[in-house]
Structure formats: structure tokens, C-alpha cells
Amino acid sequence: MKTSLAGTPHGVQLLHDPLRNKGTAFTEVERDALGLRGLLPPHVHSQDEQMARFLASLRGIADPLEKFVALCSLHDRNEALFFRVVCDNVDEIMPLIYTPTVGLACQRYGHIFQRPRGMFIGVNDRGRIADILRNWPLKAGIIVVTDGERILGLGDQGANGMGIPVGKLSLYTACAGVNPALCLPVTLDMGTNNETLLNDPYYVGLRRHRVTGPAYDELIDEFITAAREVFPDVIIQFEDFANHNAFRLLERYRNRICTFNDDIQGTASVAVAGVLSALRVKGTKLADEKFLFLGAGEAATGIADLLVAAMVAQGVDAAEARQHCWLVDSKGLVVKSREGLAAQKLPYAHEHAQVADFLSALKALQPTAIIGVAAVGGTFTPEVLRAMADGNQRPIVFALSNPTSKAECTAEQAYQGTDGRALFACGSPFLPVQYGGKTLVPRQGNNCYIFPGVGLGAIACGATRITDEMFLAAAHTLASQVTAADLDQGSLFPPLANIREVSARIAVAVAEVAYQRGLAAKPRSDDLRAQVQAHVFDPHYPAYA
């Protein structure tokens, strides 16, 4: 591809522009035309050679956090090379730029800080947020925003939570090809109640406790209004907000702007895709299943809501569909007689006697599927797995809690505990397991199968809203990418290496729903796949003509 020189900075300025820099890969012609002669060592390397050099050096580093820092500095100096490295080595690099390494990076953010990325907006910025957003030099198409209060399973990380929007947006580009120039990570610094951080001299955020109540809501509202004013078509993804704000904010904004919450809706979509794959093995329909969740938070109620939507789409009455989903939280089975239940749990508070613990609930309800999302490790005990195996020919067992130490059970335990019959999916990666002479390959229900494609589709059609119907379409599309060979080896998701194709198909499905529902601002072309593809960033260097 040839790119015009118009608007291209020259000389040192170009070498310091990560969106355009090619480093030693600038050709002889480009070095003359762009004022680079003498500013680079003489030998011209290809991008492939640069990638090989970077990977060799990365693989020589033992500590994952140091690898993270090396990747960040590549990202800061040469985005195309960074995304070539990520895209061509997604299995190896994803755990370094996202979970689990990103969690550690957030905890150590102030200590490993080198250059800012994204925007920090604090409680002291009330009244001038639009002006601050105008400092961003590009036209943002997607904002991932966090307030740092519930970073992964690590709790309040305050402004250090910035690692998450940065990592998530890298995945938009790596997994779906969203143009990095459109990506704006934002951290809203509402203060922190993490005393360790407040006492850390290298902490990057405000030295104050969290703001709450109307002051919190007003800041969020000003931010949303300002973001829409400065970047009118922007998609805003809420990320790692605490439970008590996540549901509220989603409800407040989902029908007003183009927004979604990945912890709730993205998780739901990937989990439903896993269930759909499991049903292909069983030869059953959703309405034949009974789901018992361990956990009743963002992930559990998000998944339950989308399962209900999927059943309704198959003609099941909504009230009847809800009866197929049961929740257990830290106080036991969620039942109608319990008082003070959070709003998101109420649809699943069915008529039933109180039950104190998960195993008793399982024995009382006899589910066909258990979905662990309580972030309490080891809760799918041998007794739980035995009960599932006794009651089901092919029990569905999803241990989705992260990180690995919080997983309800390992893949090995799931297969051992069910005589190899479990249809298993996990939130953390597990290695293949040998069972009964067969190699079973558990795959991770990773949200990165879903949100990058949803974002790409929304950009391609100019979506004005992101709806649950789109997440359901994404789930069906993801499940359709699982082959018979995948299912045969126990994999309920496609290999991660196929992620770009999966994302492109999800983008088409999402755009299709947007057009059907009148939620797309851009004209529709005859070839929706080509329309999506036109928005895909290619990490190979352009030639500057």
C-alpha cells in the first residue's frame, strides 16, 4: 500500500510519531524524501526482521512484568511493529499485554511508569472535561473508560487501573484490526480507598479517598456529555467499574448513547457461545437445560440475561425462560423470600425454600449446567462434580473465575471428577488433559473473542446503540466458528489463532443487526463484509510515496 506524504511529519518528528514510525525499516527512498538521512543506522531492515529481533530480545527476558515493559515501549515507539508482533504471536503475547500480566502491571503501574498513554481525568476537573478531551490529538472512535475501582479481581487500583483500558484497546486492534488511531483509553480518577497506594510515593493518582454519591454521578455525566460533544460518533465501553456502579451506569446510558459494559455483556456473549457449542454436542436446546450459577454479580446476571434473551428468540416465554436460570451468591440460593436483593438478581429470585450452600442447591435443583463466576477458588469440589456426573450424561461445567487461583476447578479436576464427560470451559487458560486415552483440549471463554468484533462492527456501520441482540448475534457467530473437530477434542471455542476471522464475522453480524433495527448511521453497502474489511487496520508498513 502507498500512502501520500501529505501531512506526514519529517525527520526526528516522524521517528517520534508511533503511528507512522517504521524505525530501521524506512527505505532508502523514504530516508531521502522524509529528511531521515543520517538519523538512522545505514542498514534497512524489513518489518519481518525487526519483528524477529524484537521477539528474540523479548524471549530472552524471564520476568513477565519486564516483558510487559518491553512491549509497552515498543507500543510507544512503533505501533505497526507492536501490532505485527501481537497479531502474529497472539497466543504468546496476549497473556503479556492483558490478563494475567496486566493485573500485576496495574499494581506496579507507578513504579514501572515511563510515558503516559491515554487520558487521565480527575475529580478536580469538573467543569472543564470537554476542554481536556480536546487536548487529545486524534478523533477518537472508541473510548474504553474505567474508574479503577474493581480492576480484574484485584479491587481498587485507583488511577493505576489505566493498564486495563490501554490493554483492552490493544486487543481491539490485535484481535479485530480496529485502527489504533481511533482508540482512546481513559481513566477517571475518582480517588482511591486503597491505603497502600495512597501511601506509595510513586502512585500516579490523586491523593484522596474516592468520591461517591451525586459528585460521582455528576462527573460521569459530564464526562459522557463531553465525550459525545468532542467525538460525536464515539463508542464508550465501561470497564472494571465496581458492581454497585456497573449495572446502574449501564442502565442509565445504554438507551441514550452508543455504549456497553464488557464485564456484563461481553462476558455474557462469550459464555452463551460456549453453551451453544455444548448443546451441539448434547443435541439439546437451551430450554432443555437448567443453569445453576455460583455467583450473582456482573458476569452471572449478564450471562443469565443473555441466556433468557436467547431462549426468547427461540420462542420461549420470558418468564418461563427465567425459570431455567438459578443463582447462588455468598448468602446462598437466591430465592423470592430473601430480602434486600440487588435489582439485577430479582428476575432470578424464584419460589423455593432457602438453601444455604452451592452443593445443597445443586442437589435440590439438579441442574444440567453449572457456571462458576464467584471468584472463589476450588468451589467445584469433587462432590459437586460427582453430583453433576451422576445427574447428567454430559454435564456442562464452566469454571470462569479469574485468575487461575480463583478458578472453581481446573480442567483436569473437571474431567477426572466427571469420568471425562464434562463439557468444560474456563476463564483462565489450562493445558490439554489426557483422559481415557484421549487428549482433551479445554479452551478459555475469553471476552476477546467478542468485544473487538462488536467494536469493529459498530464502527463499520456507525452504530448508534449497542444492544443485547447484537451480543446474541455475536454469540451465535462465535459458536458457528467451532468445528466438529474442535468439539471432538472437548473445545467449545475456536482456536485463538483464528481470532481475526472470528472478529470479522462478528463485526458483520453486529452491523447486520444494526441495519435491521435502524441503528446504523452509515449507508449500507451491498457487501457488508467488504464494508467491515475497509475499516481493518493492517499492521504491515505502508510505503510512503
Catalytic residue numbers, as ranges: 98, 168
CA distances to 40, 156, 269, 273, 522 from 153, rounded to whole Å, are 44, 9, 20, 23, 38
Radius of gyration of the chain (CA): 24
Residue 532's nearest CA partner among 420, 433, 453 is 453
User: What is the number of residues in the chain?
Assistant: 545
Residue 170's nearest CA partner among 71, 240, 246 is 71
Grid coordinates belonging to 147: 474508574
Size of the site for ligand NAD (CB under 6 A): 27
Q: Taking the complex as a whole, how short is the minimal distance between the CB of residue 451 and ligand NAD, in angstroms?
A: 10
CA distances to 166, 254, 434 from 146, rounded to whole Å, are 10, 16, 41
Q: Which is nearer to ligand NAD, 235 or 296 (CB)?
A: 296
> Could you say whether residue 239 binds ligand NAD (CB under 6 A)?
no
Which residues lie closer than 8 Å to 228 by C-beta, 6 or more apart?
Answer: 234, 257
> Could you say whether residue 294 binds ligand NAD (CB under 6 A)?
yes
Q: Which stretch binds ligand NAD (CB under 6 A): 28-36, 84-92, 262-270, 314-322?
A: 262-270
Q: Which is nearer to ligand NAD, 68 or 398 (CB)?
A: 398
Q: Which is nearer to ligand NAD, 293 or 541 (CB)?
A: 293
Residue 348's nearest CA partner among 338, 358, 360 is 338
One of 72, 299, 482, 499 touching ligand NAD (CB under 6 A): 299
Q: Which is nearer to ligand NAD, 356 or 545 (CB)?
A: 356
Place of cell 425462560: 321
Parallel/antiparallel/unpaired status of strands 396-399 and 142-146: unpaired
Q: Which stretch binds ligand NAD (CB under 6 A): 32-40, 75-83, 327-335, 359-367?
A: 327-335
Binding mask 139-178 for ligand NAD (x = CB under 6 A): --------------x-------------------------
Q: Which is nearer to ligand NAD, 153 or 542 (CB)?
A: 153
Q: Taking the complex as a whole, how short is the minimal distance between the CB of residue 150 and ligand NAD, in angstroms?
A: 7
- Whole-angstrom distance, CA of residue 118 vs CA of residue 163: 10
> Could you say whether residue 298 binds ligand NAD (CB under 6 A)?
yes
One DSSP character per residue, 145-160 reads EE-SSS-TTS---GGG
Grid coordinates belonging to 355: 438453601
Grouping H, G, I as helix, E, B as strand and the rest as coil, residue 424 is strand
Q: Taking the complex as a whole, how short is the minimal distance between the CB of residue 86 and ligand NAD, in angstroms?
A: 19
Binding mask 345-374 for ligand NAD (x = CB under 6 A): ----------------------------xx
User: Residues 386 to 415: which contact ligand NAD by CB under 6 A?
Assistant: 400-402, 406
- Whole-angstrom distance, CA of residue 192 vs CA of residue 491: 40
Q: Which is nearer to ligand NAD, 47 or 267 (CB)?
A: 267
User: Residues 418 to 457: which contact ligand NAD by CB under 6 A?
Assistant: 427, 445-447
Grid coordinates belonging to 427: 476463564
> Which residue ranges make up the site for ligand NAD (CB under 6 A)?
153, 243, 263, 267, 270, 294-300, 328-330, 373-376, 400-402, 406, 427, 445-447
